[in-house]
């Protein structure tokens, strides 16, 4: 994962630092600082190594909900290729629940999705003057809020998950300042710790296998 992040960062910095290597499209709708809002579908589920195959018809081991968030990035149009760094933050209504009396957990207990962070880069290929297909990848960190109490006290703990994200999408520009896109992202979290409320030290890091699937629509401004 660290190698992937380093390659993405190096590629982005190289593109930004060496515009002489290619003709930068100054009037392109795919260059400059961009900020966008996102909304869509979010699903968190057990990874392949911990699927409940013995009870797969009755337990899908997933948490699903509505995703909302924001993304900021900076793109450089090098002609037929667009490249640049990107960061994002989102929240989600996804949580574990009961369906027909069956608890749809996935190994973390009774949890709801917390904030989700992303830091990486994307590279795009223009199919026309105002349309671009792109791929993205990088590091992601997410929180799962533990919902528990002893009848009188609600405990404030959560899981802190680290992993990688890859995805891709289609972006359409309405002139040079307004754009929309639709994208799919897959995240895999392989490392976690339990964060307590300050009265106890955080746990040691431990291995997990948790997948995340997101489909979002974005609307943004470019400056």
Residue-wise pLDDT for 114-137, tens only, equals: 999 999 999 999 999 999 999 999
Percent of the chain with pLDDT over 70: 75
Tell me the pLDDT of the chain averaged across its residues.
83
- Residue 207 has what pLDDT? 87
Higher pLDDT, 211 or 53: 211
* pTM attached to this predicted model: 0.81
Which of 3.10.580.10, 1.10.1130.10, 3.30.565.10, 2.40.160.20 would CATH assign to domain 2-222?
A: 2.40.160.20
Q: Give the chain's radius of gyration (CA, Å).
A: 20
- At 154, the pLDDT band (50, 70, 90 cuts) reads low
Domain spans of the chain?
2-222
**195 pLDDT above the threshold of 90:** no
Burial environment of residue 55 by CB neighbours within 10 A (0 to 12, 13 to 18, 19 or more): exposed
């Amino acid at each position: 994962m660290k190698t992937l992040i380093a390659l993405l960062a190096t590629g982005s910095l190289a593109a930004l630092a060496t515009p002489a290597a290619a003709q930068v499209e100054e009037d392109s709708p795919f260059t400059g600082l961009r900020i966008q809002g996102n909304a869509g579908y979010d699903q968190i589920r057990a990874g392949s190594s911990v699927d409940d195959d013995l009870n797969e018809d009755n337990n899908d081991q997933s948490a699903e909900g509505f995703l909302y968030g924001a993304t900021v990035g900076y793109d450089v149009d090098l002609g037929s290729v667009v490249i640049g760094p990107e960061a994002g933050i989102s929240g989600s209504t996804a949580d574990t629940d009961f369906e027909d009396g069956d608890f749809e957990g996935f190994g973390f207990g009774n949890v709801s999705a917390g904030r989700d962070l992303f830091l990486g880069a994307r590279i795009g290929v223009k199919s026309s003057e105002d349309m671009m297909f792109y791929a993205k990848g990088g590091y992601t960190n997410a929180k799962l809020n533990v919902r528990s109490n002893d009848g009188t006290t609600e405990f404030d703990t959560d899981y802190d998950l680290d992993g990688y994200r890859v995805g891709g999408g289609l972006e359409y520009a309405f002139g040079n300042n307004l754009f929309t896109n639709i994208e799919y992202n897959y995240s895999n979290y392989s490392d976690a710790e339990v964060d307590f409320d300050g009265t106890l030290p955080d746990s040691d890091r431990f291995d997990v296998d948790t997948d995340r699937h997101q489909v979002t629509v974005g609307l943004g401004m470019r400056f």
